Chains A and B, each alone.
Chain A
Amino acid sequence: MVVSETIRPESADQLRDLLAWAASESKPLEIVGSGSKRALGRPVAADYVVELGALSGISLYEPDELVLSAGPATPLAEIETALAEKNQRLDFEPPDYGPLLSAPGGVRAGGADRTNAPPTGTLGGALMCNLSGPRRVKSGAARDHFLGFTAVSGHGTVFKSGGRVVKNVTGYDLSKLMAGSWGTLAVTTDVTIKVLPAAEKARTVLVFGGDAAIGGRAMTLALNSPYDVSAAAWLPESLAAQSAIDMVSAGKASVAAIRVEGFGPSVEYRCRILREQLGALGPTEELHSTNSVEFWKEIRDVMPFARPGDERLVWRLSVPPAAGPGIVAALAEEDGTDGFLDWGGGLVWLAVPPGAEAREPAVREAVARSGGHATLFRAPAELRGTVLVFQPQETAKAALTKRIKAAFDPAGILNPGRMYPES
């Protein structure tokens, strides 16, 4: 593998000059914040790695207006600390895939000792990859909190879109397009996001026992209730047993977990009713404060597959929530395969034994039947270069994708090949 030269622009102006030069010379660039997600997506073959570390720092934070602006390379840890001081948070609950992606070989240890480890990753990285945690079901994805930005396009031109107010329909919503573009359209130099009040209290109702279908029923019942559930996940017995949360592992059974957040009296009230209603499906328990927080970090960061020594390949499937239990049951039947559910069944995490095929046909077929899409989330670089990492697109959409890429980056200099072999 060719080792690329690393360039660290010190300002937005230098970044603009660099991109203008690269565009006219057709020099492909790999764009990196802290590099925490370099092992996601297809490998990029670039002449230069552009590190954005200098474009860091919070430039505006107005808690009463619910807005924050910062450089794209601002560490998430710094953002979360600033927000916590004002009792606010990033409501899309950005995941920290550090442990998941660094295993096998484990740069960082998994398990309980990471409780106090700061999250890896940057705000820009979280937005550009549009990756969201368990609260996705209630509060939306990263893209739903992305209000505006300034960026340099592949033309080497500075442009902006959106604004710094939470309600805005002026012009195309390019923030949405940038979110989930994996750095292939433009490089942000400043981003503005919507922030929200942190919940006063969080509790989690656990329902033990039964198969994925029972877990699915528990999650649907909870999400279809008026009790404002902020997360719903399901673990099979084999994965629940590995949880660092005693109450989860001691259940010796599969477990559906339902999170309720908000003002104290309301949380207690809603938990009580949910336990009553879910009790018909199995024995129930309740996680309070730290246990609840830590449990949802395990789900958010895919900790069941981040244990040292776990060398399996990991798939991430986004499917209609009611289809999730059936998919996980069918696919996890194979030897060496495990699966669990987040997003009320709408997010399936699947670990499969290593192999050149990565069980792609079975995964793609399941998604084709239910609707949705699948991403090969953890795999060695060689495999991510041969298996299609993202969901293959049908012809008309693939052609449109190429035209959009060319509209922002006509010379193809920004993270070429990161999403699809040719764009």
Chain B
Amino acid sequence: MKMPEPDAGVLARRAEIAQALTAIVPGDGGVIVDPDELRPYESDGLTAYRQPPMLVVLPETTEQVRRVLRYCHENGVKVVPRGAGTSLSGGALPLADGVLLGMGRFNRILEIDYDNRCVVAQPGVTNLGITKAVEHKGFYYAPDPSSQIACSIGGNIAENAGGVHCLKYGLTTNNVLGLELVMIDGEVIRVGGKHLDAEGYDLLGVLTGSEGLLGVVTEVTVRILRSPETARAMLAGFQTNEQAGDCVGRIIGAGIIPGGMEMMDGLAIRAAEEFAHAGYPLDVEALLIIELDGPEREVDDLIGRVTGIATETGASTIRISESNAEREAFWAGRKAAFPAVGRISPDYYCMDGTIPRHRLPEVLRRVTELSRQYGLRVANVFHAGDGNLHPLILYDANIPGELDKAEAFGADILKLCVEVGGVLTGEHGVGVEKRDLMTEMFSEDDLNQQQRLKCAFDPGSLLNPGKMFPELHRCAELGRVHVHRGKLPFPDISRF
């Protein structure tokens, strides 16, 4: 993975930069320069890539963030923002000549407002921390990425995090109401609030999922929802992926949007069952976990309808949770699928493409062919309702060349997703991981337009460079208007 060439001039000024930042964030642990103490920051959730930062700064106030960014802006120093460091795409991978701006000390919930159904929090609060703060009143925060115990709400905004509930309740972007943002030049803007919809351009929408390339979030306002009266889960096992896919299509065709609808293939089922003892059937090749939530009367009704559809589409096993404990057990296997796969292989590499759901059987067949071709096993877990596929490629990093092989296999899977009409990433982000694949999905003109937006926020490309874009163009070059001199050149257009 090629990162931007470190700037020798900046590296030579490391001590001076550390001193200047210490003046802004004084006190113990405000600025980290010791190589041993920098090591924990050298990677995020994508551990295949490692690079210690030049230094780490851990501000506590918006004012400190503002001054750190303004200093870096004025001195041409690159900045990599970091939340909890759980990114699976290398979004927080440091730069050798960059400041790593850790937001972990922004860990307070500022306001809970039930009448307006929202929570105002600092960005370092964990995703689950929001739900924990309001669940005693029967509320929760809907997006639930599987790292929700650890991942921060600020990181969720940067990556537009999803989770198993997003088919029904949306991704992060559909659940954020407001932000405070510090831009690279130190300007602070507030976007949104407790009201709905933006005034002016929808900055909230474009900042969510911008992967730390546009600014640093210092406060968030998120929407909370009243917890459903009840939730029940169903396991439906099938002999083929086609049958399971058909079942998913018919559930949605019947107008039912389940709270969650997950699919696992044979290898994933067996690994998860061995690890979590969730009670999964082992004699099936595809397993659906379908959760229906809402008022009791509705859930009972829908369980009946979905059971009928699963039976019609050839389910060989159907089990319905009879208690909350049993429902949680059904999920325990799915939620443990990644570590479970981690037990049957020294290393695994998690992919994140989205496909039009009806292409699933074809995509799985071709993934199996690729698996044979690369000589690496693959387990598939799948957010079935929205077509978000997570193939886990099993490899051993200690075998020379095997990581490269896993990466090449992963790239082939993502190219396949794009080929069938899907996209490179459904919820993990582009980061460094999929950066060089962006040209599979986007033309040069597409990427140039995205970069022009980046230029409007960060003209010097100091914020998280080396992520998302395979190649960074100079802003002046992108801003030029091409001249097509002449008269209105098309007599064939209808004019009135």
Q: Which residues of A contact B (CB under 8 A)?
A: 5-10, 14, 17-18, 20-21, 23-25, 62-67, 87, 130, 132, 136-137, 140-141, 143-144, 153, 155-161, 163-177, 179-181, 185, 196-198, 200, 220, 223-228, 262-263, 265-266, 269-270, 318-322, 343, 346-347, 371-373, 390-391, 393-394, 396-397, 400-401, 403-404, 406-408, 410-411, 419-420
Q: What's the minimum C-beta distance from A382 to chain B, rounded to whole angstroms?
A: 23
Interface contact A226-B479, CB-CB below 8 Å:
no
Query: Given A25-B485, A393-B200, A407-B456, 14 other A-B contacts at CB below 8 A?
Result: A23-B481, A64-B358, A156-B482, A164-B421, A167-B383, A171-B468, A226-B226, A262-B294, A266-B301, A319-B195, A320-B195, A321-B117, A322-B113, A372-B195
* B456-493 at interface with A (beta carbon < 8 Å): 456-457, 468, 479, 481-486, 488-490, 492-493
Residues of A within 8 A of B201 (CB): 177, 180-181, 185, 401, 404
A408 near B449: Cβ-Cβ < 8 Å = yes
Chain B residue nearest to A64 (CB atoms) is B249
Interface hub of A65, A269, A373 (most chain B Cβ within 10 A) = A65
Alpha-carbon distance between A206 and B197 when the two chains are bound, in angstroms: 27
Chain B residues with CB under 8 A of A159: 443, 445-446, 448-449
Q: Known interface pairs A159-B449, A269-B298. Does A24 touch B174 (Cβ–Cβ under 8 Å)?
A: no
A18-B493, A21-B484, A262-B298 known; A226+B173 contact, CB < 8 A: no
Q: Are A166 and B386 in contact (CB under 8 A)?
A: yes
Q: Residues 212-228 of chain B: 1 if any A CB is under 8 Å from the residue's CB, otherwise 0?
A: 00000000000000111
A23 to B388, CA, bound (A): 40
Which positions in B face A, CB cutoff 8 Å?
113-117, 138, 159-160, 162, 166-167, 170-171, 173-174, 183, 187-189, 191, 193-206, 208-210, 226-229, 249, 252-257, 294-298, 301-302, 354-358, 383, 386-388, 421-430, 434, 438, 441-443, 445-450, 452-457, 468, 479, 481-486, 488-490, 492-496
Q: Are B485 and A24 in contact (CB under 8 A)?
A: yes
| Min CB gap B236→A, angstroms | 18
* Distance of A91 Cα from B133 Cα, bound (Å): 30
Q: Which residues of B contact A25 (CB under 8 A)?
A: 485
| Residue from B356, B427, B454 whose CB has the most chain A CB atoms within 10 Å | B356
B208 pairs with A228, CB closer than 8 A: no
| A residues less than 8 Å from B162 (CB atoms) | 167, 169
Question: Considering the chains assembled together, what is the distance between the CA atoms of A160 and B448 in angstroms?
Answer: 11
Check if B298 sits within 8 Å of A408, measured CB to CB.
no
A121 to B187, CA, bound (A): 39
CB distance from A204 to the nearest CB of B (A): 17
CB distance B496 to A8 under 8 Å? Answer: yes
In the assembly, what is the distance between CA of A137 and CA of B426, in Å? 25
Which residues of chain A come closer than 8 Å to B485, judged between CB atoms? 24-25
Measured CB to CB, the nearest residue on chain A to B487 is A21
Closest-by-CB residue of B relative to A150 is B446
* B173 and A173 contact, CB distance less than 8 A: yes
Residues from chain B with Cβ under 8 Å of A403 in the complex: 455-457
Q: List 23 A-B contacts (CB under 8 A).
A: A14-B490, A17-B489, A18-B488, A24-B481, A65-B358, A157-B445, A161-B450, A170-B424, A171-B430, A176-B204, A177-B205, A228-B294, A269-B297, A270-B295, A320-B113, A321-B115, A346-B195, A372-B195, A372-B199, A393-B200, A396-B188, A397-B200, A407-B479
Contact of A346 among B167, B196, B208, B449 (CB under 8 A): B196
Q: Residue of B at shortest CB range from A26?
A: B481
- With A10-B493, A319-B195, A321-B116 as given contacts, are A24 and B252 in contact (CB-CB < 8 Å)? no
Contact: B490 with A17, CB < 8 Å?
A: yes
Q: Are B484 and A156 in contact (CB under 8 A)?
A: yes
A181 to chain B: closest residue by CB: B201
Beta-carbon contact of A171 and B160 below 8 Å = no
| A132-B429 Cα distance, complex, nearest whole Å | 29
Counting residue pairs across A and B whose Cβ atoms lie within 8 Å, the total is 309
B310 to chain A, nearest CB (A): 16
Q: A224-B114, A225-B226 are in contact. Are A64 and B253 (CB under 8 A)?
A: yes
Assess the A5–B495 pair: CB atoms within 8 A.
Answer: yes
Bound-complex Cα distance A66 to B484 (A):
41
Distance, CA A63 to CA B250, complexed state (A): 10
**In the complex, are the beta carbons of B193 and A224 less than 8 A apart?**
no
Measured between alpha carbons, how far is A132 from B357 in the docked complex, in Å? Answer: 28
Q: Which residues of B contact A173 (CB under 8 A)?
A: 160, 173, 205-206, 208-209
User: Is the beta-carbon distance between A397 and B189 smaller than 8 angstroms?
Assistant: yes
Residues of A within 8 A of B443 (CB): 159-160
Q: Considering only CB atoms, which chain A residue lies closest to B210 in the complex?
A: A172
User: In the complex the two chains form, is B257's CB within 8 Å of A390's CB?
Assistant: no
Taking CB atoms, residues of chain B closer than 8 Å to A23 are 481-482, 484
Residues of A within 8 A of B456 (CB): 400, 403-404, 406-407
Contacts of B488 in A (CB 8 A): 18, 21
B493 adjacent to A396 (CB under 8 Å): no
A167→B200 contact, CB < 8 A: no
Selected contact of B116 from candidates A67, A262, A322, CB within 8 Å: A322
Chain B, Cβ-Cβ closest to A166: B386
4 closest cross-chain pairs (CB), A and B: A176-B205, A266-B298, A197-B255, A373-B199
B229 adjacent to A14 (CB under 8 Å): no
Residues of B near A67 (CB, < 8 A) are: 356
Query: Does A167 contact B426, Cβ atoms closer than 8 Å?
Result: yes
- Inter-chain contact A266/B294, CB cutoff 8 Å: yes
The answer to whether A160 and B206 touch across the interface, beta carbons within 8 angstroms, is: no
B129 to chain A, nearest CB (A): 21
B422→A318 contact, CB < 8 A = no
> Is there contact, CB below 8 Å, between A169 and B429?
yes
- Closest B residue to A162 by CB, please name it: B423
Minimum C-beta distance from A277 to chain B (A): 13
Q: Tell whether, in the assembled complex, residue B159 and residue A169 are in contact, meaning their CB atoms are under 8 Å apart.
A: yes
With known contacts A169-B427, A391-B199, A407-B456, A160–B295 Cβ distance under 8 A:
no
A180 and B252 in contact (CB under 8 A), knowing A9-B493, A14-B490? no
Closest Cβ–Cβ distance, residue A127 to chain B (whole Å)? 11
The CB with the most chain A CB atoms within 10 A, among B206, B423, B427, is that of B423
A6-B495 in contact (CB<8A): yes
